[in-house]
Chains A and B, each alone.
Chain A
């Protein structure tokens, strides 16, 4: 209450000075005092009340009508006071939410963490950059007992927190699959049933699952509606789209996925990505996949990890670059 009393005296002095002189200084004082009011959560009707008190003390002979009009004004301010109060509460809540999301993002990172395994004869590079606080892209490496490598790359549609929560579900379903049944086709069919049963109708997941078998130098894969990756043939120095048909996860309960196989020659690369890579924009212009491949080619002499890092840096440097979606790029290369 003390500050209000102090402010009251201050307000009265300033008002008197302004009425007498109309100088800038007292207007500036009014501005300062209003900032202080806001800081101390003084509602607008309280300020009018101050004004009424100050007026009646300064000019005791003011007309009765002026007094009535002031009381009228006071009444009209009450809703503003309540709105202000609500704004304060919302601000506090927003701050709370922001903190909670930061904690959740941290947890997500721990939950979904995957380590790049080392596979004899295979060079692996991976980069994943979220567009917002939480990443809706997901990638996972699994090293099988037979020395094979499983790679999953996925994109949850529906962004932000719900997407991230959905990812954790996928990760745990994948962890609970027995290793024996780990063909890409079987994995996608299993996950499809999990997603179909558990997510909102407007949410879905695209996933590409590949398995590299070093003993046969073969890549087996299946796709659930995922952005097509690319296959680089060292011998011809050309890229081709990895064609794989398949419906996104979570749309139809009985979706079937086709199995595909590709022999991997020395120096060949498998490039997997999410649509964040082909959906980034430079101003109004979309970055086409040919452009991404050109950049990859430019760095092809480097280790796989350096290639993916350079590709991201290359696009990040473009003047009007906008990351509209999470960006994930994985490169696997059979070492020479």
Chain B
């Protein structure tokens, strides 16, 4: 399974849309695309995970290093539209407390 990464720039906001699986094979690709974006002062980096149905712990590692880098460089990392399985990982690891995360809106209930 592959990971497609699409980056759209809007002023001070970079939107990174991902689709596919994030695992040990695709994680380096994600790291390469994501980390440089977090290095710009004041930048908002929004990662859309709507089409990511599987992520393993290697993926978490990438988001943790992106978070650390955004703190060092005064940018802001935001994850949106997380599917249940992926959201669960952030919840178990306690990362939802320190990363700006929004789960996928389901059935318009939110």
Chain A residues at the B interface, C-beta cutoff of 8 Å: 155, 157-159, 201-204, 206, 224-228, 245-248, 251-252, 255, 275, 279, 324-325
When C-beta atoms are compared, the residue in chain B nearest to A279 turns out to be B56
Contact A202 B93 (CB under 8 A): no
Q: Which residues of chain A come closer than 8 Å to B94, judged between CB atoms?
A: 224-225, 245-248, 255
Given A157-B61, A202-B31, A251-B68, 8 more pairs with CB closer than 8 A: A159-B24, A201-B68, A226-B92, A245-B94, A247-B95, A251-B64, A255-B94, A325-B56
Classify the interface of chain B: helix, strand, loop or mixed: helix
CA distance A203 to B24 in the complex (A): 13
CA distance A247 to B93 in the complex (A): 6
CB within 8 Å: A-B pair count: 57
Contact A203 B61 (CB under 8 A): yes
Contact A204 B92 (CB under 8 A): no
Q: Which residues of chain B come closer than 8 Å to A252, judged between CB atoms?
A: 98
A-B contact pairs, 11 of them (CB 8 A): A159-B24, A201-B65, A201-B68, A202-B64, A203-B61, A224-B94, A225-B92, A248-B93, A251-B95, A325-B56, A325-B57
Given A225-B93, A248-B93; A157-B58 close (CB under 8 Å): yes
Q: Which residues of chain B come closer than 8 Å to A227, judged between CB atoms?
A: 92
When C-beta atoms are compared, the residue in chain A nearest to B1 turns out to be A284
Interface size on B, residues (CB 8 A): 19
CA distance A201 to B93 in the complex (A): 15
CA distance A271 to B76 in the complex (A): 39
Given A227-B92, A247-B93, A279-B56; A202-B61 close (CB under 8 Å): yes
Q: Which residues of chain A come closer than 8 Å to B61, judged between CB atoms?
A: 157-158, 202-204
When C-beta atoms are compared, the residue in chain A nearest to B94 turns out to be A247
When C-beta atoms are compared, the residue in chain B nearest to A203 turns out to be B61
B3 interface hit (Cβ, 8 Å): no
B104 interface hit (Cβ, 8 Å): no
Contact A201 B95 (CB under 8 A): no
The residue from A203, A228, A247 contacting B98, defined by CB atoms under 8 A apart: A247
B15 interface hit (Cβ, 8 Å): no
CB distance from A155 to the nearest CB of B (A): 7
Q: Which residues of chain A come closer than 8 Å to B9, judged between CB atoms?
A: none
CB distance from B57 to the nearest CB of A (A): 4
Chain B residues at the A interface, C-beta cutoff of 8 Å: 24, 31, 56-58, 60-62, 64-65, 67-69, 92-95, 97-98
Contact A155 B95 (CB under 8 A): no
Contact A206 B64 (CB under 8 A): no
Contact A201 B69 (CB under 8 A): yes
Q: Which residues of chain A come closer than 8 Å to B62, judged between CB atoms?
A: 202
CB distance from A208 to the nearest CB of B (A): 11
| A227, A245, A252 pick with most chain B CB within 10 angstroms | A252
Contact B92 A155 (CB under 8 A): no
CB distance from B63 to the nearest CB of A (A): 9
Q: Which residues of chain A come closer than 8 Å to B65, judged between CB atoms?
A: 201-202
CB distance from B39 to the nearest CB of A (A): 13
- Lowest 4 A-B CB distances belong to which pairs? A247-B94, A225-B93, A202-B61, A201-B65
The residue from B24, B31, B64, B97 contacting A204, defined by CB atoms under 8 A apart: B64
The residue from B56, B60, B92, B98 contacting A324, defined by CB atoms under 8 A apart: B56
Contact A251 B31 (CB under 8 A): no
The residue from B31, B58, B68, B93 contacting A158, defined by CB atoms under 8 A apart: B58
CB distance from A205 to the nearest CB of B (A): 10
Q: Which residues of chain B come closer than 8 Å to A157, judged between CB atoms?
A: 57-58, 60-61
Q: Which residues of chain B come closer than 8 Å to A201, judged between CB atoms?
A: 64-65, 68-69
Given A206-B93, A225-B94, A245-B94; A159-B58 close (CB under 8 Å): yes
Q: Which residues of chain A come closer than 8 Å to B58, judged between CB atoms?
A: 157-159
CA distance A324 to B94 in the complex (A): 23
Contact B56 A248 (CB under 8 A): no
CA distance A275 to B60 in the complex (A): 13
CA distance A159 to B61 in the complex (A): 11
The residue from A228, A255, A275 contacting B57, defined by CB atoms under 8 A apart: A275
When C-beta atoms are compared, the residue in chain B nearest to A158 turns out to be B61
CA distance A157 to B55 in the complex (A): 13
When C-beta atoms are compared, the residue in chain A nearest to B57 turns out to be A157
